[in-house]
Amino acid sequence: MSVRGIRGAITVDVNEEGPILQATVEMLTDIINANSIAPHDICSVFVTVTGDLDTTFPARAIRQMEGWELVPLMCALEVPVKGSLEKCIRLMVLVNTDKSQDEIEHIYLGGAQALRPDLTKA
């Protein structure tokens, strides 16, 4: 078994608690479903947000998901590169899995599809 990183990103339209929490759950749910993983398979989740999203911690949404109470979570600010994608939440989910690197499905939703068009499904 290996530890693999699963990437995800999503954008929100507004800097408000509800949309940020909802988008975080949507993205993580898609990652879970696409990769057939359960909370007990997770090593940790690293969450970043762009500096324009400061009304809540996205990890709050994950912590409230059933079975995710004990998963280690950490939030941080994304590097503020000029001209980079705004209002973006990113996840790095570290998971114990027998899947090979090329079997991992990364999830990019909304405006975040522009970050990795090579990994975005049509």
DSSP letters spanning 26-60: HHHHHHHHHHT--GGGEEEEEEEE-TT--SS-THH
What is the rounded CA–CA span in Å between residue 104 and residue 55? 31
Q: Is 16 a catalytic residue?
A: no
pLDDT one-digit tens code per residue, 67-80: 999 999 999 999 99
Share of the chain above pLDDT 70, in %: 98
- Considering only residues 120 and 58, tell me which one the structure prediction assigns the higher pLDDT: 58
Q: Could you say which of 60, 75, 103, 105 is catalytic?
A: 75
Collapsing DSSP states into helix, strand and coil, what is residue 78? coil
Given 16, 69, 103, 116, the catalytic residue: 116
Q: What is the mean pLDDT of residues 59-74?
A: 94
Q: Is a pLDDT exceeding 70 seen at residue 105?
A: yes
Query: Which of the residues 7, 26, 60, 105 is marked catalytic?
Result: 7
**Active-site residue, 60 included:** no
pLDDT in tens, 16-50: 999 999 999 999 999 999 999 999 999 999 999 99
Question: Catalytic residue among 16, 17, 43, 63, which?
Answer: 63
How confident is residue 119, by pLDDT bands cut at 50, 70 and 90?
A: confident
**Confidence at residue 48, expressed as pLDDT on a 0 to 100 scale:** 97
Catalytic residue flag (residue 88): no
Residue 4 annotated in active site:
no
Q: How confident is the model at residue 118 (pLDDT cuts 50, 70, 90)?
A: confident
